[in-house]
Structure 1
Amino acid sequence: MKLVKTLLASSLLTLYATSAFADTQTTKYLIFVENGKQAGEQVVQRDDTGLHKVKFIFKDNGRGPELNEEFRLGADGLITDYKVTGNSTFGAVINESYQRVGDKAEWKSTSEKGSKTVNGSALYIPLNSSFAIASLSISALEKAKDKKLQLLPSGTLSQSKIGELEVVNGDKKQTVQLLAQTGIGLSPSFAWATTGDNPRLFAVVIPGYMKAIEEGWQGNGEAMANFQKAAESKVLVDWAKKLQRPLSGLTVIRNARIFDSEKAKVGAASDVYVLRGRITAILPAGSPVRGATSEIDAAGRILLPGLFDMHGHVGRWDGGLNIAAGVTSVRDMGNDNAQMQLILDEVNKGDLLGPQVVPAGFLEGESPFSANNGFVIKNLAEAKNAIDWYAQHGYPQLKIYNSFPKAILKDTVTYAHSRGMRVSGHIPVGLRAFEALDAGYDEIQHINQVMLNFLATPKTDTRTLDRFILPSEKTADLDFDSKPVQDFIARLKAKQIAIDPTLATFSFLRQQDGTINEPFATIADHMPPDVRRGFSVGTMKIADEATHQRYEKSYAKMVEFVGRLYKAGVPIVAGTDELAGFTLHSELAFLVKAGLTPAQALQIATRNGARYTRTQNERGSITVGKLADLVLVDGDPTKNIEDVRKISAVITRGYLIYPSEIHQNMGIKPFVESKPELKALKPVSATNAIGINEGAMQRYFGTARRD
């Protein structure tokens, strides 16, 4: 889900040159996912009246947007009239328009309506668009004196050149340039453009996910991806150096109230000692300090173990958001394998600001609906080969996906277990959850996959949008006290099958277009305007109020069901599959809504995270000898779960990091302003530090010699 949204965010990049054409011209872009499979295309036509028509389609994992755009340009090369219709990734109806006459700009979509008086050139950013969305921003920014462009409804876009690369198409050659645009979203957007006076978009590359390239030039995709990854690395390394403060020598965190993740309660104030990234001592607050070189005064704040997000799809630009949210460990639930190895290496070296990643190997079957991460296989031999690769690369878990062949499921799970791996995933098409348990599953991802156990029939194709629509339509009528439901819960408990419900993610099932999706309501006012605007875009096709009320009731029952699972003794983990960092906090709030106490929700995000990533020997609690993954929080999240957003400092991998600094660098209004400072302590000799003076040592050794 997150990867598709990344693609749509990237579609805010521009396409066309502003030069006039005498005849109709067609430019075609082919869109490939990382394994080389074509998953879509974009065709742009411009006729001799200046009308541009765009057809865009992208389908991956059984879903994706289909758009039709029309627009005209003004004398400044920017849009004067624009209209887009179609359907979003999850089927919502798209109908958006924009018009500028003189200094008056007006826009309208299914989720918003606005107008503004504008001086000078300005680019309207649609809520849903293809890569061709008017902007011509690449050309417009190239011509702008200050390399900046006013945006509508708000904001400013800027552009910088990263470097150039020669590309080849048969006997044709040309030089293209990599550009970085900032001012939209929470991280830079990268685009490949032609060179010259009127540069236009040549390609969009999202390393590890997809490439959209002008037809005929797709053979250069890998070279562009490698060039772009290297260029991104330079920015990311600089960012990491700027925001990570190394903890040199022994550091003491004074007067912290430690959250005991085993007992789910806060203990007495303590002093916690950290050396070389590990906890070396925990003493009562105010105990004599012995040899520490620096200190952090927690001033009575609560100290949490680092939080776990148990359902991420990690990107290189997500790390700051995770760390700022106190997420020091993420279980990656599906990624391009080469990209995952790169991220693991970069985090390990300290070159990437981000959490420690526990990877789950992604395993999918070949079909027209396939997701295209990890390994896509056709038979048991290929499945075993993939499992061997994951085991050799240290993956503790396997994730199976929608199109996996059900005939080989049990043998595949058995083989993964023989290689020491846990197995989880979606439920393969043609099966229900109880049959996945029969095959040996250890965990199930997503609350909709659990609900489909009671709702799907042998004819339900759960690779399509039906896997979202059916739970939205039918969960409202489920009797949770019925024997089939109670028997299933009892079986989950008996087998200790973990459930990764991702409730915050599935809030989109009931969101009406034009209303803020609940997981983001608390953070919306902290976000840049363009990001906040996106929180009000509905993604499900909800035809009328009756449908909306039904979907609301179904979603409320999904939340209730997670509470029932927890109370029955079924293990729950806290995952997101959405906007990094912030969504983990929202997931914990939904667990509280399901009936858990705030302290129990925090226990799930700490102790359970470590248990079900098999990292409990090093993480999940504040214990001597474990990694110093530590989170200082203002307020008391064990009483008010929303206080978990008030993070003043994070320690992980031997670094001290301030969330407020990360947020300020991303245009986000910080949730706390305070920063418990790292202060140097006056050096003390080792002998005096332990209370033994020179005379005492002489007397002791003198006595020892006489004996």
Structure 2
Amino acid sequence: MKRLTHLIAVLLSTATGPVLAESRQVDRTYTVLCAKVACGKLGVGESARRQVADYSYRNNGRGPDQSEVILLGADGAWISYQTDGVSTYGARIDDEFKAQDGVARWRSAVDRGERAGAAADLVYLPVQPTPAATALLAKTLLQRPGRKAAALPVGQVSLERMQALKPAGATFEVALYAIEGLDLEPVYLWLREDDQSLFAQVSPGWGGTLLQGFEAEVDRLGEVQKAAQRARLERLAQTLPQVLPGLTVIEGVRWFDAEAAVVRGPSDVYLYEGRIAAVVKPGSIGNAGPSQRISGQGRTLLPGLVDMHAHLEPGALLLDLAAGVTAVRDVGNSNADLAELRGRIDRGELLGPRVAANGFIEGKSPFSSQADFVPDNLPDALAAIDWYAAHGYRQLKLYNSIRPEWVKPMVAHARALGLRTGGHVPAFMTARQAVEAGFDELHHINQVTLNFLVGKGDDTRTLLRFNLPGDKAADLKLNDRRTQDFLALLRRKGTVVDPTMVAFEAQYTQRQGLPNPSYAMVAANLPAVVQRGLLAAEVDLDDAKARRWGASWRVMMDLLRRMHAAGIPLVAGTDATPGFAMHREMELYVQAGIPAAQALKIATWNGAKHSDRLAEIGSISVGKRADLVLVDGDPVADIRAVRRVSLVLQAQGSQNRALSPAALYESMGILPFVPAAEILK
């Protein structure tokens, strides 16, 4: 589960290695929780003008190790910052800042520079801060006029106090604060009221970092934080949609026939009471008297896009809709949190895509990804399947630490209850063995590629599942009998593959300090601080490794092309930044040699079909929900047109609604890509 938002990076994916060369005094210790399981620690030492921190955790076979030192001036301004270590996926962390003689200088893995100015007027934003540094930033802002400051290297940050409470068993109160300017939505954290030191930083449903002794407060803090997030999103849900009463017609528009994978039209497409009412020749209905008219000239109407590999959180909702992603499949989350979020979307309290959920099951091991169900034996694993079946789930996702001997009985039990099974290939199995044991679906291109690379004893619960394809895939000969036999097996079994190419593109190709290739085409529209974060690579690639891993990436792209050519059903999932990643996923399919029309079918029809929603969404067909995307241009002629979304239409019950992507993006501080389509009364 890759989570690329800054909040999770700050909370659970900072990293480092060697401790900075100096003695350490730990005044406070924090427990890092992955779900509700302790998975690491943060140690913080403080004096009046100095803060040191050591931060480390392990979850899902990976995690960071980071050391950090911050020196303060007499006025509380940062005069020095230094951090080093190793990031979650192995990249070196090395970031320094100094303010001296009226000049601020910084050097990181992604940039370097200097600027004249007093330290008291500026704040430095590290590329990968620990939670302790984020808390000290908040404390610094509390001392600034208006609780805001210009940021280095770019941007501006501000602080808002939200709500206070007294933790159980504490002699002090804590308050929730929101920092604006670090990401596309506020970054939340909890400070003690008595000394403004860090109390907790929580990611509801995923875990957090809490002062030792107060770990039991994680759910309570998370609920308060979720309420603050919801309040903001509820306000937007009231102001951003435009209700389309009565009859709406999109006039003279090209439209994508997803089942046939061809563009048809121009046609008039009528929408009524949340459904597609008619698709007819322009002007052929003369007396309809529509309440709204939308011009389709120069535009193409698509079914709403379906992201088949999401880990949904509130911050993803508007990003998905702005990009035309009107449906997602969540493949691993807090079951309770997802059910709540899904319910609020269905009731219209929040704007968001339609949600289908997979039931996530992980085996217990030192490398486990913590989740609701982490069984240590087969009976408990089967009981988890029972729970998911009883709660209406249609598919399971099995994860890395599921024991190979459990797979066949788990699949059989799931099928008896009407559930399909897919996910990661459990460690010490190959993808072929997983399919032969009954897997209906495989996730991630690296997991498929590992089929040809893993040896006996290779433990893919670790970073090996990423590094082995990078190191060795370049040597694969995909026209050999072994590859042909494996692809024939997938075709014969009807095994679905969710390759999530965009989740791996940067990992195998990005050099430190260079643009992330998955988002380079949209970076200029993003807030400057987010642009800077996109320059940080997950892996350090020197010249030799870059050549090697780049060649391996090209082999994985070729494997994708061969799977499509062999007739293996593909679905478009991202496991990356919502919305933008879906567009890039389709672009990568086209780069690999899949025709653009087929890429669009994969992202619409296939997604609806393989998430059991084809009766309602996935094509522009009379009677289906009016979940539609209007784009400027023709994405079959040029797939890049999928980024030029001018209007999103989404049914809410029996009501048609229109959403302006420009307005959605602006609510997140993102510059619009195209003007919104005009709706004429």
Range class of TM-score, shorter chain: over 0.9
Map 1:385-464; keep pairs closer than 5 Å: 385-464=383-462
What is the aligned residue count? 664
Match of 2:46 in 1: 46
Q: Does 1:513 align with 2:504?
A: no
Match of 2:30 in 1: 29
Matched residue SS, 2:109: coil
Q: Does 1:137 align with 2:137?
A: yes
Match of 1:566 in 2: 564
Deviations 1:586-626 (A, max 9, x none): 11111001101111111110111111111111111000011
Task: Name the amino acid aligned to 2:315.
Answer: W
**Counterpart-to-counterpart distance in 2, 1:495 and 1:608:** 17
Match of 1:238 in 2: 235
Match of 2:283 among 276, 281, 286: 286
The offset of 1:492, in angstroms, is 0.9
Deviations 1:530-580 (A, max 9, x none): 1111111111143x3111100000001101110011011111111110000
Deviations 1:325-354 (A, max 9, x none): 110111111101111111111110111211
Q: Does 1:205 align with 2:202?
A: yes
Match of 1:598 in 2: 596
Deviations 1:151-196 (A, max 9, x none): 1111111111221112122xx4322111111111101111111225
Which of 1 and 2 has greater Rg? 1
**Counterpart-to-counterpart distance in 2, 1:33 and 1:459:** 27
CA contact (8 A) 1:4 1:64 kept: no
**Counterpart-to-counterpart distance in 2, 1:297 and 1:373:** 47
**Counterpart-to-counterpart distance in 1, 2:406 and 2:420:** 17
The offset of 1:210, in angstroms, is 0.8
Q: Does 1:678 align with 2:676?
A: no
**Counterpart-to-counterpart distance in 1, 2:47 and 2:342:** 49
The offset of 1:24, in angstroms, is 5.7
**Counterpart-to-counterpart distance in 2, 1:139 and 1:442:** 51
Residues 451 and 356 (structure 1), Cα distance of their counterparts in 2 relative to 1, 3 Å cut = same
**Counterpart-to-counterpart distance in 2, 1:485 and 1:213:** 48
Q: Does 1:274 align with 2:275?
A: no
Task: Name the amino acid aligned to 2:160.
Answer: S
- Superposition CA RMSD, Å: 1.8
Deviations 1:132-156 (A, max 9, x none): 1276222222222212122111111
Match of 2:69 in 1: 70
Deviations 1:104-146 (A, max 9, x none): 1111122221212224421111112211127622222222221
**Counterpart-to-counterpart distance in 1, 2:589 and 2:388:** 32
The offset of 1:522, in angstroms, is 0.6
Map 1:558-637; keep pairs closer than 5 Å: 558-637=556-635
Task: Name the amino acid aligned to 2:247.
Answer: L
Identity of aligned residues (%): 39
The offset of 1:641, in angstroms, is 0.8
**Counterpart-to-counterpart distance in 2, 1:31 and 1:140:** 24
Match of 1:84 in 2: 83
**Counterpart-to-counterpart distance in 2, 1:134 and 1:321:** 24
Match of 1:538 in 2: 537
Structure 2 gaps, min length 5: 15-23
CA contact (8 A) 1:59 1:65 kept: yes
Q: Does 1:105 align with 2:104?
A: yes
Match of 1:525 in 2: 524
CA contact (8 A) 1:79 1:134 kept: no
**Counterpart-to-counterpart distance in 2, 1:220 and 1:401:** 28
Match of 1:687 in 2: none
**Counterpart-to-counterpart distance in 2, 1:404 and 1:276:** 46
Match of 2:662 among 660, 663, 669: 660
Q: Does 1:223 align with 2:220?
A: yes
The offset of 1:4, in angstroms, is 6.8
**Counterpart-to-counterpart distance in 1, 2:4 and 2:471:** 24
**Counterpart-to-counterpart distance in 2, 1:636 and 1:209:** 40
Q: Which moved more, 1:475-484 or 1:213-222?
A: 213-222
Task: Name the amino acid aligned to 1:658.
Answer: S
CA contact (8 A) 2:61 2:368 kept: yes
TM-score under structure 1 normalisation? 0.91
Task: Name the amino acid aligned to 1:253.
Answer: I
Task: Name the amino acid aligned to 1:140.
Answer: T
**Counterpart-to-counterpart distance in 2, 1:539 and 1:671:** 27
Q: Which moved more, 1:110-119 or 1:156-165?
A: 110-119
CA contact (8 A) 1:140 1:149 kept: no
The offset of 1:220, in angstroms, is 1.8
**Counterpart-to-counterpart distance in 2, 1:632 and 1:333:** 28
Q: Does 1:186 align with 2:188?
A: no
The offset of 1:479, in angstroms, is 0.7
Match of 2:19 in 1: none
Task: Name the amino acid aligned to 2:327.
Answer: S
CA contact (8 A) 1:563 1:596 kept: yes
CA contact (8 A) 1:67 1:86 kept: yes
**Counterpart-to-counterpart distance in 2, 1:12 and 1:549:** 27
CA contact (8 A) 2:10 2:129 kept: no
Deviations 1:624-682 (A, max 9, x none): 01111100000111111111100000011232101100111111111102x223333xx
**Counterpart-to-counterpart distance in 2, 1:61 and 1:76:** 42
Matched residue SS, 1:338: helix
**Counterpart-to-counterpart distance in 2, 1:80 and 1:40:** 29
Map 1:265-344; keep pairs closer than 5 Å: 265-287=262-284, 288-344=286-342
Structure 1 gaps, min length 5: 14-22, 681-707
CA contact (8 A) 2:310 2:330 kept: yes
CA contact (8 A) 1:124 1:135 kept: no
Task: Name the amino acid aligned to 2:108.
Answer: S
CA contact (8 A) 1:29 1:42 kept: yes
Residues 214 and 481 (structure 1), Cα distance of their counterparts in 2 relative to 1, 3 Å cut = same
**Counterpart-to-counterpart distance in 1, 2:572 and 2:483:** 22
CA contact (8 A) 2:241 2:657 kept: yes
